Amino acid sequence: MTDRLESREKVTGAARYAYEYPLENPAYAAAVQSTIAKGEIAEVHADAALRIPGVLAVLSCENAPHLHDAGDAELALFQSRTVAYRGQFVAAVVAETLDIAREAARHVRVDYVSEPFDVRLSADDPRLYKPDKVNPVFPADTEQGDPEEAFTNSAVRVDATYTTPAEHNNPMEPHTTAAQWNDDGTLTLYDSTQGSSPTQETIAQVFGLDRTHVRVIAPHVGGGFGSKGTPRPNVVLAAMAAGAVGRPVKFAVPRQQMFATTGYRTPTIQRFRLGADADGTLNAIVHEVFEQSSTVTEFAEQTATPTRVVYRAANRRTAHRLARLDVPTPSWMRAPGETPGMFAQESAMDELAFAAGVDPVELRIRNDTDTEPESGLPFSSRNLVACLREGADRFGWEHRDPAPGVRWEGRKLVGMGVAASTYPAYMRPNKATARAEEDGTFTVRIAAADIGTGARTALTLIAAEALKADADRVTVEIGDSALPQATVAGGSAGTASWGTAVVRACESLRGKMNGSVPPGGLEASADTAAELEGRDAYARHAFGAQFSEVEVDADTGEVRVRRMLGVFAAGRIINPKTARSQFIGGMTMGIGMALMEESVMDPRFGDYVNRDLAQYHVPACADVRDIDAAWVEEADPHLNPMGSKGIGEIGIVGAAASVANAVHHATGVRVRDLPITPARLLPLL
């Protein structure tokens, strides 16, 4: 139960985030967004802005320096006259102060030649196509047996369509970059990023630099939830602006501009079919997903991939179809794929439980599997059943009367729901160094990121264990691309991937030390690339079970989550204190998904209309009454030297279905379209 190592800095305001480094004579950038959804920029009128005292430069497609292709067209800032979505950055003003920059940005006039656009996702859009792969490298479609036939012949069938809206990550710290070109031609970025090494690599490509000529510094990051997993256009904008004015430039994307320019979770339309015997044993699972990307890049969320993992059935099919619309570019948001996909699957399982008259916990246990259903691989460990049983026991599930819509407490209807969770246990190759000093202290270096996950603390505990030293003698340096190269804080793979490199470096150091440290100290390094090549073939996933109790106001349709419990099986938990917070944090975001989060696309103008925190609702303190997280002991020798699985994302997976299933149990109303707002629920009560 270790406190976060940077706790004191965070509670005293001393922890510096990207905008907060003292720079010499900084200038400030403000961006201009496209006011059309599709078309061409005819002309950029910068003269009025340039006349304002204090304005240093106006950048746009008319004067921007040439950038190189880094494989992400979103980063080709101001490189063409084409407008791909409303809200796209089309110009930037650089000025002496932020107030001047913002004022001047309002005086940049852009003439457009507008074209008809389409921003509506629909399941019968003729332009829907099968992507070559879904994020990151999964097949778009899979099929085994004869799912149509098996479904048709099943005694009990569920055939339902679920929708999830576009959702925005909305980390509290906006996407922020302070960029400085140094006299030797190198570039320093203070950046709010989930990965200083990947950002270094990408930005170096964009500006045609050697990787080592870019340094990305990010010791503290104010949340990301996937949206800071790759550099977004703001990073390029800041660096370009700094080059243009020959001074450091700071740029934080205003909250309103984040909704178009920093990524979001695609809306989904999901048809889910389950065919089962009378006792609920599954014969057929069919999951068809429709989702969107922009015309800029193809991001195909892997929504149906958890369906390939969780339940046994001989006949099964998953399919993803994508429409490239004139919308902002979607990207990663906490557990992309698993989060929307498991909402559909676990809602459908609840519908099946009701249709078959089987308890929802029992139904999931009945369809458990020893091998990963589609690959046939054995699980390295799988404790879904243990999570379900432990959770049911702790939550008081046995007292649940299965009848929906019958428990009144005054004017409130009360109910309980359950859903399963899953998330892959990924591993990526990393490098680290470990150094011993004569005075008995150690320094471990790796360009890992702590975006609030507790990674700095977990890695310190991991290093101390590997070094057989007290944690207070170990310093772990992270958050700087000058450190040994590390992968992104994403895919819940951080601790497992970085931790393995840390352990190997520490083991190597201990081998060299041989009990003593010579004058000048000792250093060892590790690279886990080779180690990850030859791993045994196992299906590696974390699992969990989420339980919710809700009350629904029968007169207003307001849903309140009274209590929520998540029980997880995620290998060895490195630091219980921060791990519990991560699980609970994911579940909290799941309440948001279930009840309030929705980015509303305006078909007339073609972008998200509710683009601030007063209109895009995230859970507030009063929305969270009683959330607890627990875990079952799980010793898994097939993972990594720590025996850990990732925990940053599984907390949100299944959470929304658990709430929605509780709403059904409370009211008898099945809401298949998130979020379950009073406006949606009340007419059905």
Partner 1 sequence: MDSEVTPVHTEITLVVNGTEHRLRVDTRASLLDTLREDLGLTGSKKGCDHGQCGACTVLLDGRRANACLALAVAHDGAEVVTVEGLARDGRLSPLQEAFIEQDGFQCGYCTPGQLCSATAVLDEADRGWPSAVTGDLSADPVLDDDEIRERMSGNLCRCGAYMGIVRAVREAARKTETEEARA
Binding-site member from 81, 213, 255, 512 for partner 1 (CB under 8 A):
255
Segment interacting with partner 1, rule: CB under 8 A, options 11-19, 311-319, 480-488, 496-504: 11-19
**What is the distance between the alpha carbons of residues 497 and 369, in angstroms, rounded to a whole number?**
27
Per CB under 8 A, the list member of 64, 252, 276, 493 interacting with partner 1 is 252
Q: Are the beta carbons of 553 and 408 closer than 8 angstroms?
A: no
Q: Which segment (50-58, 265-273, 371-379, 459-467) binds partner 1 by CB under 8 A?
A: 50-58
Nearer to partner 1 (CB atom), residue 15 or residue 155: 15
Residue 496: φ, ψ to 5°: -65, -45
Question: Is the omega angle on the peptide bond into residue 136 within 30 degrees of 0, that is, cis?
Answer: yes
Give the separation between CA 561 and CA 548, rounded to whole angstroms.
7
With CB under 8 A as the contact rule, the residue among 454, 479, 571, 641 that binds partner 1 is 454
**Minimum distance from CB of 451 to partner 1 (Å)?**
6
| Candidates 128-136, 146-154, 248-256, 284-292; binding stretch for partner 1 (CB under 8 A) | 248-256
Q: Are 240 and 66 in contact (CB under 8 A)?
A: no
For 178, the 3-state DSSP assignment is strand
Among 75, 179, 221, 235, binds partner 1 (CB under 8 A): 221
Interface with partner 1 in residues 563-622 (CB under 8 A): 577-578, 580-582, 584-589, 612-614, 618-622
Could you tell me the smallest distance in angstroms from the CB atom of residue 258 to partner 1? 10
Q: How many residues touch partner 1 (CB under 8 A)?
A: 71
Length of the chain: 685
**Whole-number Cα distances in Å, 225 to 331, 589, 612:** 11, 10, 17
Considering only residues 3, 279, 472, 602, which one is a binding residue for partner 1 as defined by CB under 8 A?
Answer: 3
Which residue type occupies 403? A
Between 9 and 673, CB nearer to partner 1? 9
Q: Stretches 2-10, 151-159, 287-295, 631-639: which one binds partner 1 (CB under 8 A)?
A: 2-10
Measured from the CB atom, the residue of 57 and 296 that comes closer to partner 1 is 57
The residue among 529 and 620 lying less far from partner 1, judged by its C-beta, is: 620
- Binding part of the chain for partner 1, among 164-172, 317-325, 478-486, 674-682 by CB under 8 A, reads 164-172
CB of 53 to partner 1, least distance (A): 6
Region 256-275 residues binding partner 1, contact defined as CB under 8 A = 256
Nearer to partner 1, 98 or 365 (CB): 98
Q: Could you tell me if 67 and 209 are in contact, meaning their C-beta atoms sit under 8 angstroms apart?
A: no
- 351, 549, 551, 649: the active-site residue: 649
Does residue 507 have an active-site annotation? Answer: no
Residue 564 phi, psi dihedral angles, 5° rounding = -150, 140
Binding partner 1 (rule: CB under 8 A), the pick from 35, 40, 54, 507 is 54
Instruction: Please identify, among the stretches 15-23, 320-328, 394-402, 552-560, the one whose residues bind partner 1 according to the rule CB under 8 A.
Output: 15-23
Rounded to whole angstroms, how far apart are CA atoms 112 and 36?
A: 8
* CB of 490 vs partner 1, minimal distance in Å: 15
At which residue do the structure tokens 């439980």 appear?
353
Measured from the CB atom, the residue of 400 and 580 that comes closer to partner 1 is 580
CB of 489 to partner 1, least distance (A): 11
Exposed/middle/buried for residue 340 (C-beta within 10 Å: 0-12, 13-18, 19+): buried
* Shortest CB 98 distance to partner 1, Å: 6
Shortest spacing between CB 455 and partner 1, in angstroms: 11
Closer of 53 and 185 to partner 1 (Cβ)? 53
The rounded distance, in Å, linking the Cα atoms of 459 and 466 is 10
Nearer to partner 1, 247 or 580 (CB): 580
Q: Quote the CA–CA distance of 221 and 476 in Å, as a whole number.
A: 16
Contacts with 453 (C-beta within 8 Å, 6 or more apart), sequence order:
489, 494, 495, 578, 582, 648
Pairing of strands 541-553, 412-424: antiparallel
The only residue of 6, 143, 368, 531 in contact with partner 1, by rule CB under 8 A? 6
Phi, psi (rounded to 5 degrees) for 382: -150, 115
Strand spans (E) along 124-267: 142-144, 156-164, 176-181, 187-191, 214-217, 249-252
Residues 506-535 that bind partner 1 (CB under 8 A): none
Structural contact between residues 669 and 592, judged by C-beta atoms closer than 8 angstroms: no
Exposed/middle/buried for 362, CB within 10 Å: 0-12, 13-18, 19+? middle
Residues 318-377, interacting with partner 1 (CB under 8 A): none
137 or 622: whose CB is closer to partner 1?
Answer: 622
Residue type, 387: C
Using CB under 8 A as the binding rule, the residues of this chain from 97 to 116 that contact partner 1 are 97-100, 103-104, 107
Among 22, 116, 185, 410, binds partner 1 (CB under 8 A): 22
How far, in Å, are 33, 125, 404 from residue 412 at the CA level? 46, 41, 13
What is the rounded CA–CA span in Å between residue 400 and residue 407?
10
Give the residue, chosen from 50, 52, 155, 482, that forms a contact with partner 1 under the rule CB under 8 A.
52
Minimum Å distance from CB 278 to partner 1? 41
Give the footprint of partner 1 on residues 115-134 (CB under 8 A): none
48 binds partner 1 (CB under 8 A): yes
Q: How far is the CB of 587 from partner 1 (least distance, A)?
A: 7
* SS3 call for 411: coil
Q: In angstroms, give the least distance from the CB of 620 to partner 1.
A: 4
Count of other CB atoms within 10 angstroms of residue 520 = 8
Interface segment toward partner 1; rule CB under 8 A; list 37-45, 133-141, 165-173, 495-503: 165-173
Q: Could you tell me how far CA 207 lies from the centroid of its own chain?
A: 27
Sign of CA dihedral 15, 16, 17, 19: positive
Instruction: Tell me if 455 sits within 8 A of 492, measured CB to CB.
Output: no
Task: Give the residue, chosen from 139, 254, 378, 668, that forms a contact with partner 1 under the rule CB under 8 A.
Answer: 254
CB 334 within 8 A of CB 228: no
User: Exposed, middle or buried: residue 42 (CB in 10 Å: 0-12, 13-18, 19+)?
Assistant: exposed
**Within 617-676, which residues bind partner 1 (CB under 8 A)?**
618-625, 627
In the range 61-100, which residues lie near partner 1 by CB under 8 A? 97-100
CA distance 462 to 641: 10
**Partners of residue 601 on adjacent β-strands:** 608
DSSP 497-510: HHHHHHHHHHHHHH
Nearer of residues 21 and 605 to partner 1, judged by Cβ: 21
171 makes contact with partner 1 (CB under 8 A): yes
Q: How far is the CB of 627 from partner 1 (least distance, A)?
A: 6
Answer yes or no: are the C-beta atoms of 179 and 209 closer than 8 Å.
Answer: no
Measured from the CB atom, the residue of 150 and 587 that comes closer to partner 1 is: 587
Cβ nearer to partner 1, comparing 48 with 386: 48
Cα end-to-end distance, the chain, whole Å:
45
Q: Which residues does the annotation mark as catalytic?
A: 649
